[in-house]
Structure 1
Amino acid sequence: MAELGNETLLELLKKMIMIRAFEEEAEKLFMKGLVHGTMHLSEGEEAVAVGAVFAIKKQIT
């Protein structure tokens, strides 16, 4: 298994933080009644999305 460099790891962390921030804001809007329907948050699962997309992109490029 190849190790990831610090720069790559930092970029992945930034993406996870951005996903968490987006979901927190979306939840606030939902609680205010500004987002209609249902909502399922993936808090704590940000690494799954980031890791999956990273692996897919690595396969494509």
Structure 2
Amino acid sequence: MGVLVWLLIPLMAAIGGGLWGSWANRTRKARGDGPELDGYARFREAMEKPRSGAGGV
């Protein structure tokens, strides 16, 4: 009987791991990339502007 208990521990761990893995990889509603892409566009615009007031550096 003790051997069966020791064999059930890894079995339960595998089942629990499979359930957690399927829950962690579930599909979620996509928020979209709007704010991130807007910030990146502002960053690119700022980097493309010529430097001003940098006398001789």
Please confirm whether the aligned pair reaches a TM-score higher than 0.5, indicating the same fold: no
TM class, shorter-length: 0.3 to 0.5
Calculate the TM-score normalised by the size of structure 1.
0.37
Larger gyration radius, structure 1 or structure 2 = 2
Calculate the TM-score normalised by the size of structure 2.
0.39
